[in-house]
Structure 1
Amino acid sequence: MDFEDSQRESSSFDIYKHKIEVQYRLFLDYVTPHIIPRWIAAYLLMLIFMGRIVWAEGWYIVCYTWAIFLLNMFLKFLTPKFDPSIEQDIENDNIESGVGKMDENDEEFKPFIRRLPEFKFWMKTVSSTSIAILCSFFSVFDIPVFWPILVAYFIILFLLTMRRQIQHMLKYKYIPFDFGKMKYGSK
């Protein structure tokens, strides 16, 4: 009887877990096409976290770690999946080996494909912010630091990495955003 009871409990747990996974997937399928409301919700969650940090006057290490993680995700969002510098090196090797280079009129269209897609960027932003909020309720993560140094270091890190990223975008002539790009289709 004990084995059968434990088997029933295990199977009921699996059924409950499966129901939660299905509901979670349905929620994600529902919110996927709604880009602007998703990001508004993410920004509100970020404001709640920042308000929590300011109000509690602590957990600066958690906030700094969260900000570094978001900066890393933002850089992945801005970079192309296929790095143009590597493609240019391959093209230069082909020219040196005698394989002819295509002229500018023969170049094929290469769409901008992100290393980190927008939806995954949103998902990681929401999950990391939720984890950061949760961590801000445990005193073990409230390590005493002089927060102005962390802010200054983050600003310097942000400026240096964005400068390098913008230089890379200008050098290889790619734009990760579609603002002002021509849209094709019926009116």
Structure 2
Amino acid sequence: MDVGSTGDTSADYFSPDGAISRWKFTVSRQYQHFLDKTTPHMLRRWIGSLIIACIYVLRVYLIQGFYVVSYGLGIYMLNLLIGFLSPQVDPEIQELYDGATLPTRGSDEFRPFVRRLPEFKFWYPLLPPFLSCFNFMIL
């Protein structure tokens, strides 16, 4: 008896490994649904992230430790910020290869600045390091 199109049998469906994989799939689907719902709410995401960062800084200040972890986290955040502020294509290098070009047709879109790292992809990697540092600091 096949349960799904993957070929799992009923014995695999009720095994502990099958239950764990179903649970992981359900949690990952709910997490992705949460991310999809927060995508258009940019201001709320950044305010929430700022609150979490302030709690982290306060916790580090009160414990007076975890400076190495904070230093590494700061370097990681700086690397993401540089990617966010950098253009996708360097105009000076592109000008050497293509020459100076402007839109020639009305349908051509002139984009003076396209980010190398979009805003959501800049925000998303910032959250897990703060949350993992909270777990580390509880010990």
- TM-score between both structures, scaled by the size of structure 1: 0.60
- 1:13 to 1:105, Cα distance in 2 relative to 1, 3 A: closer
Separation in structure 2 between the aligned mates of residue 129 and residue 53 of structure 1, nearest angstrom: 12
Q: How far did residue 7 of structure 1 move?
A: 6.7
- The equivalent of 1:177 in structure 2 is none
Percent pairwise identity: 32
Matched, 1:116 2:117: yes
**Residue 28 of structure 2 aligns to which amino acid in structure 1?**
E
Q: How does 1:10-49 map to 2 (within 5 A)?
A: 10-49=17-56
Q: Judge conservation of contact 1:62–1:136 (CA < 8 Å) in 2.
A: no
Question: 2:25 is aligned with what amino acid?
Answer: H
Report the Cα offset of residue 6 of structure 1.
9.7
Bigger RCO (CA 8 Å, 6+ sep): 1
Match of 1:79 among 76, 86, 100: 86
Question: Following the alignment from structure 1 to structure 2, what is the Cα–Cα distance between the partners of residues 85 and 127?
Answer: 35
Displacement of 1:111: 5.0
**What's the CA shift string for 1:122-170, capped at 9, x where partnerless?**
11111122223333345xxxxxxxxxxxxxxxxxxxxxxxxxxxxxxxx
The answer to whether 1:9 aligns with 2:16 is: yes
Q: Cα 1:105–1:24, aligned 2, differ >3 Å: closer, same or farther? A: closer
Q: Is 2:64 the counterpart of 1:63?
A: no
Task: List, as ranges, runs of 4+ consecutive aligned residues in structure 1 with deviation greater than 6 Å.
Answer: none
Letter paired with 1:77: F
Could you say which residue in structure 2 is the equivalent of 1:134?
135
The question of 1:125 aligning with 2:126 is answered: yes
Which runs of 5 or more structure 2 residues have no equivalent in the other structure?
1-10
* TM-score under structure 2 length normalisation: 0.79
Q: Is the 1:70–1:125 Cα contact (8 Å) retained in structure 2?
A: yes
Q: CA deviation at 1:83?
A: 1.8
Tell me the distance in 1 between the aligned counterparts of 2:134 and 2:19. Answer: 31
**Rounded Cα–Cα distance in structure 2 between residues aligned with 1:13 and 1:50:** 36
State the 1:110 CA deviation.
2.3
Alignment of 1:156-167 (within 5 A): none
Question: Using the alignment, how far apart are the partners of 2:128 and 2:38 within structure 1?
Answer: 15
Report the equivalent of 2:95: 88
